[in-house]
Amino acid sequence: MSKKKTKEDLYQHTWLKNLHYDVWLEWTINNACNLHCAYCWFNLGEDGYLAKESIPEGISSFFYAKGSNKINLALLRKALNRADKVFRISLTGGEPFLLSNIIDVCFEITKKHFFSTNSNLISDKIKDFSERIDPKRVVFINASCHIKELERLNLLKIYINNFYLCKKKGFNIGASEPAYPPILDEVSKYREFFKKIGIGFRFVKFCGKYNGKMYPDAYTKEELEIFGIENDPDIKMFHSKGKLCNAGYNVCVVAPDGSAIPCARISENLGNIFDKINFKKELMKCPHELCGCPLKCYDPYLFDKALVGCGTKPALEKS
Ligand code: SF4
Ligand code: SF4
């Protein structure tokens, strides 16, 4: 059985690097992709773009706002320069590297702020990214691995080469594979494979329907242990009602068009990344009974900072 993981084990990318940012913006930059994973919760058409409304229950339709394949750099530059806080901007999708000017966007962000991303790492822009972007301004690259799709399309070699490219340049990068029930019998095989080639690899919860059952709730204890995700803080629905959360205080989610709200389940308008984001002055108490992805557990560094900032927790003494 795997030993109980601490939050530092799970989120080393923020804790160990001691990066100094004030707020985290999780930006769903597009809803297009170059893969067609069987379990994708975006309903992608043949062309890889969002085919029709397919919003998972409880998730704001906000994320399904039509995106563009290009960010207005002049507007973004202006907003980033005049920001009075240091941002960690995470780009996710869809597949962020499908944006035609993604490298310029990363370059602008990392001049003064920090960057992180979830990417399937098969884009031919990864080379340019690894050469132009300063690894010291990149919190973490979550190289989301979709093994069956990579094998089906003969893209595994490209994924691995891009991973090595980033690692060699000094980026903090790790591979994560959705713990999709049909690959249960091959877990050891894939673990061994990635270990052998020197790629840090872990499973993460799969969210969605398989065989008529809803995951992650439907995982058995044994399945959780096989995937090694039994102690992940977001594996079970979290009883969130009335508990403090930093959503909207120093964390928020951003839609493809730049508009910001506190979290996927609270659609309060906080402004727009291209203009100004108006963060709340106080921590909120969650109004929902349950939450499947409490933002506070993905960046414990910022949650602690929020508790200290609101006087809920004393500041740590400087050593
Ligand atoms: S890589 Fe992600 S966004 Fe793209 S098809 Fe797969 S699950 Fe969907
Ligand atoms: S616990 Fe979840 S639903 Fe509640 S405010 Fe935080 S992120 Fe939103």
Span from the CA of 96 to the centroid of ligand 2 (angstroms): 24
**Placement of tokens 């709340």 in the chain:** 280
Q: Is 35 in the pocket of ligand 1 (CB under 6 A)?
A: yes
Res 43: pLDDT: 63
Give me the domains of the chain, ranges plus CATH numbers.
Answer: 7-309 (3.20.20)
Q: Which residues in 81-115 are b (16+ Cβ under 10 Å) and which e? A: eebeeebbbbbbbbbbbbbebbbbbbbbbbeebbb
Output the residue whose Cα is nearest ligand 1's atom 3. 94
pTM: 0.88
**CA quadruple 38, 39, 43, 44: dihedral positive or negative?**
negative
Q: Which ligand has its closest atom nearest to the C-alpha of 153?
A: 1
pLDDT digits (tens, 9 = 90+) for 77-116: 999 999 999 999 999 988 999 999 999 999 999 999 999 9
Q: Which of 29, 39, 42 to mutate to test the pocket of ligand 1 (most atoms within 8 A of CB)?
A: 42
**What tens digit of pLDDT does each residue of 143-163 get?**
999 999 999 999 999 999 999
In whole angstroms, give the CA distance from residue 259 to residue 266. Answer: 13
Specify the higher pLDDT residue, 18 or 191: 191
Of 59, 245, 297, best ligand 2 pocket probe by most atoms within 8 Å of the beta carbon: 245
CA of 239 to the centre of ligand 2 (A): 10
Residue with tokens 């990417």: 119
